[in-house]
Structure 1
Amino acid sequence: MMLSEENKRKSSFRDFDEAAEHILEMISKQMKINTLFIAKNDGKTNEIIKSRNAEKELVVAGTSLPLENTFCSLSLNYGEEPLVINDISSSELTESLEIAAHFGNGSFIGIPVYFENGDVYGTICGLDNQPFEFLEEHLYTFETMSSLLTYVLELEKANYQIQTLSSPLVPVTTGVAILPVIGEITAQRAQTIIDHILIKTEERNLEYLIIDVSGVSQINTAVGEYLLKLVGILKVIGVTPVITGIQPFMALKVPHFAASLKGILIEANLETALKQLGFVLMQGCSKNSGRP
């Protein structure tokens, strides 16, 4: 049986953000609690990453509170199993929380979300300002979804490592490095490259970055814009970009690509680029080094 387009969309997601949205949607279909949310914390601050409210907006995505003043802190302290508070107004756990007064005799459920190494990412929770009856199946659902989020976190981490390894920064000498861009460039990979390179350029205190695109097999307008964005950012932070290996198909796929690089040093290949920066490539230098 073939899946409908809607079912295909729901059966996969591109990143943690989409997975979180999808998971809250699935839980909401199973249990009719007013609010579901996923929070991230760093040990001090609790940030709401995703929220889903039915009737009353109890939790808003993007908001932050000190961790100690949140229901999430209670869930983290409780451990790996779901914490269930049937009546917030009468629970000993919530009596010290300032925010508890806003939810009367409502109910709460929450469970931590971990990385594989045991570090805490945050929590996935359910909240209502009215009494809610939690069933055994609800607890099982939260345990399952917490494990699923752990899997997605690790998958995203692994994917990021693969993407950054596929675009390594090769140091040439102090202040100069080469970024060989190889293979098919998607918009997601292009953004990963930018994020990775900005960190590395600061760490290495670069003056010049040679971006070699001779190994790029596919490019489109969106990806071309990302590469231009990288060039623009490098200029702003004081790193001189040098482009090598631009191929004819790039000019055909992204007509304004070359024109947008006006004023940027463009060379046919790495050898000529290095010569422009004052480097001389010597054949057999290692064999003759140190000998008269």
Structure 2
Amino acid sequence: MEANGREPFIVEDLQTNDLTKNMEVTKALQAGTLLGVPILVQSGENYGTLCALDDTSRSFTDEEMKLFSMMGKLLGYVIDVDIERYKTQTANVPLVPLGKGVVILPLTGSVSEKRAEAILERVLAYSTDESPDYMIIDVSGLIEREEAMTEKLLYVVNCLELVGTTAVIIGVRPDQALTLHASQMMSNEVIIKPSMPEALHSIGLKLDWR
């Protein structure tokens, strides 16, 4: 079978096949056989190849071919699920512009590693495109352990600082205050205020409640 990116393929002799004869693995093994199965995602795109190598020349049985093809399809499904989960997490990063140069980022629920990556990507893209002076990050809705929350928040704050946006943190609970105070957060140019009115006042804005 030929390697075309859509079907399983077999290289019966690594040393004589044009695709593999100059590869480092061929030089290391000296001889061998390769079975490759494409990993296709839902869009039809070839995401990669699942490979099996044997250091001896051999044939693969129909059962081995079916098993490997099934593994390739399973990996494609897992990748599809991960892609959809990432899209959902990225979409769940609301940014609310509040006047010129100020934007609010309300955080709720828990922040997994994947969601933290999505938040960072979203806020950095927004800050690069819109160049806000301040980003008010409301953490009152988080249900995260304070140590984990502080580490992720500190990373976002540092990255925002690199692109010229000052972070203003509001909604810090009493049980989080000591952790924040003991962390590197206090050594950064970040403003921490108990409420939205005080945060806005600290950056020169005022809410008119009338």
Q: TM-score range by the shorter chain?
A: 0.7 to 0.9
Of 51, 73, 83, 1:157 maps to 83
Aligned-pair CA distance for 1:129: 3.4
Match of residue 257 from structure 1: 180
Aligned-pair CA distance for 1:166: 2.6
Please list, as runs of the form range in 1=range in 2, the aligned pairs for 1:1-292 lying within 5 A after superposition: 75=3, 78-91=4-17, 93-94=18-19, 98-99=22-23, 102=27, 103-251=29-177, 255-260=178-183, 261-262=185-186, 263-282=189-208
Relative distance call for 1:105 and 1:265 in structure 2 (3 A) is closer
Contact 1:187-1:223 at 8 Å conserved across structures: no
How big is each residue's C-alpha offset from its partner over 1:72-125, in whole Å with a ceiling of 9 and x where there is no partner? xx73xx24221012223444x548x53286254411111221221112211111
TM-score calculated relative to the size of structure 1? 0.61
Aligned-pair CA distance for 1:223: 2.6
1:122 aligned partner, one-letter code: G
Aligned-pair CA distance for 1:188: 4.3
What SS does structure 2 have at the residue aligned with 1:137?
helix
Aligned-pair CA distance for 1:282: 4.2
Aligned-pair CA distance for 1:213: 0.5
What SS does structure 2 have at the residue aligned with 1:88?
coil
Q: Percent identity?
A: 32
How big is each residue's C-alpha offset from its partner over 1:238-283, in whole Å with a ceiling of 9 and x where there is no partner? 21110111111323xxx33134333521222223322333334346
TM-score calculated relative to the size of structure 2? 0.82
Match of residue 41 from structure 1: none
Contact 2:5-2:46 at 8 Å conserved across structures: no
Equivalent-residue separation in structure 2 for 1:218 and 1:146 (angstroms): 36
Equivalent-residue separation in structure 2 for 1:104 and 1:264 (angstroms): 59
Aligned-pair CA distance for 1:137: 1.5
Equivalent-residue separation in structure 2 for 1:242 and 1:158 (angstroms): 31
Contact 2:169-2:193 at 8 Å conserved across structures: yes
After the TM superposition, which parts of structure 1 deviate over 6 Å for at least 4 consecutive aligned residues?
none
1:99 aligned partner, one-letter code: M
Unaligned runs of 5+ in 2: none
Equivalent-residue separation in structure 2 for 1:279 and 1:87 (angstroms): 72
Equivalent-residue separation in structure 2 for 1:212 and 1:127 (angstroms): 52
Give the CA RMSD over aligned residues: 2.6
